Amino acid sequence: MLQFDYNLLNTLEVLLEEQSVTSAASRLHLSQSAVSKQLAKLREVFDDPLFERTPYGLRATPRAKQLAPELRQVLQQLELFTRPNNFEPEKSNRTFDIHMVEPAYSLTYPHFMPALLKQAPQINVHAKTWRRDSLDQLLRCEIDLAISCWEWDTRSKWHVNNIPSELNYIELARDHSVCLVREGHPLFDEEWGLDTFLKYRHLQVVFGGIEQWLLDDILNLQHLKRDIAVNLTDFHSAMELCENSDLILCAPSKYIDNMLKGSPLKKLPAPISMEPGCYVLMWHKHFEFDHSHRWFRELIIDKVSKEYLVK
């Protein structure tokens, strides 16, 4: 029976991500020759070429693609198995992968990152903006943590109670929707309410794979609908357009407050009564007793929830 070197699995994972022996060698701090030799061993182990050369780099074979999802889980299990029971942040060089909705960056990073950099100067945090498949990646343990928007209002399908049971979570901050309009907007000559809100066209920012806000869910229950003229994925661009048009922009209040400094936009309350939504930190139960993971999430929870007074 062929004796297997489990270090080869890490090489395979990097090759699958980089699709290049040269790039993989750079990431692994090895020579191209060493990576090529490891690839040859992997091909022998799995009795498959694993990669084919193309003018654009390496292309994974069907067998390699089949291995990819299980490979991440195996490597995580090995990492947990070999990780010491005690965790010393100042000595760790672990990399944490986290996905978060766009507003969560400015609401969380300034509060937990300074402490993290001080306590664990060699730890890396790789963040990506929340997208449609982020929840699936969290459920497959492909990422360590995620911060996403969920609702407390029972009229929303994104209610907190609908967070998958495989995940643990904690609320970091609550927020509510507000409306932004330009200075001198004609609606200031009218009484502010639902009729005025629906009279004008709207600008909508879509993020995190959520294409419809709670406000729209509630309007639909009343057989009402906003006239959305423009959809964007960037709040900065949306605010600039809002300043130069009569479009109404709905936005989360805490997030937008950081961006309104020096802006001529005016803030109005949402014309519909809604329960505030929340930013939720989520992780798979697989990581619950991982000492370094626990340290990282507790640091986030302590620094961020303390800032926003969420217990």
Q: Are 248 and 200 in contact (CB under 8 A)?
A: yes
pLDDT of residue 286: 87
Q: Reply yes or no on whether the pLDDT at 79 is more than 90.
A: no
Pairing of strands 145-151, 167-175: unpaired
Which whole number is the average pLDDT over 237-263?
91
Inter-residue contact 194 to 248 (CB < 8 Å): no
Confidence at 242, pLDDT banded by 50, 70, 90: very high
The pLDDT tens digits of the residues spanning 91-121 come to 999 999 999 998 899 899 999 999 999 999 9
Q: Residue 123, CB half-sphere, CA atoms under 13 Å: how many?
A: 23
Q: Is the pLDDT of residue 218 over 50?
A: yes
Between 76 and 178, the more confident residue is 178
CB 282 within 8 A of CB 145: yes
Domain boundaries, the chain: 7-82, 89-174+277-308, 177-269
Sign of CA dihedral 161, 164, 170, 172: negative
Q: Which CATH architecture has domain 89-174+277-308?
A: 3-Layer(aba) Sandwich (3.40)
Q: Which helix (H) or strand (E) holds 47?
A: none
pLDDT at residue 210 in the model: 64
| Cα–Cα distance measured from residue 93 to residue 194, given in angstroms and rounded to the nearest whole number | 53
CATH code linked to domain 7-82:
1.10.10.10
- What's the CATH superfamily of 177-269? Periplasmic binding protein-like II (3.40.190.10)
- Residue indicated by tokens 């904690």: 170
User: pLDDT category, 300, cuts 50, 70, 90?
Assistant: very high
Residue 83 pLDDT more than 70? Answer: no
Contact 104, 75 (CB under 8 A): no
Q: What percent of the chain has pLDDT over 70?
A: 93
pLDDT of residue 6: 73
Instruction: Please write the tens of the pLDDT for every residue from 136-182.
Output: 999 988 899 999 999 999 988 889 999 999 999 999 999 999 999 99
Mean pLDDT of the residues in the chain: 88
What pLDDT, on the 0 to 100 scale, is given for residue 311?
43
User: Residues 147, 138: contact at Cβ < 8 Å?
Assistant: no
pLDDT average, residue stretch 285-293 = 88
pLDDT at 309 over 70: no
List 38's β-bridge partners, or say none. none
Contact yes or no for 49/62 (Cβ under 8 A): no
Phi, psi of 6 (to 5 degrees): -65, -15
| 63 neighbors 50 (Cβ within 8 angstroms) | yes
Query: 7-82 with 89-174+277-308: one CATH topology?
Result: no
In this predicted structure, what is the pLDDT of residue 262? 82
Residue 84 has pLDDT above 70, yes or no: no
* Residues 282, 167 contacting (CB under 8 angstroms): yes
C-alpha angle with apex 66: 62 to 76, nearest 5 degrees? 145
Q: Is the pLDDT of residue 241 over 80?
A: yes
- More confident call, 6 vs 2: 6
pLDDT per position as a tens digit, 23-66 = 888 888 888 899 899 989 989 888 899 999 888 888 889 998 88
Contact criterion met (CB below 8 Å) for 56 and 20: no
* Cα gap 204→189, rounded to integer Å: 23
Across the range 232-247, mean pLDDT stands at 92
Query: Mutual orientation of helices 102-119 and 291-308 as an angle, nearest 10°?
Result: 120
Query: Does residue 200 register a pLDDT over 50?
Result: yes
Q: Report the alpha-carbon distance of residue 45 to residue 32 in Å, rounded.
A: 20
Whether the predicted pLDDT of 1 surpasses 50: no
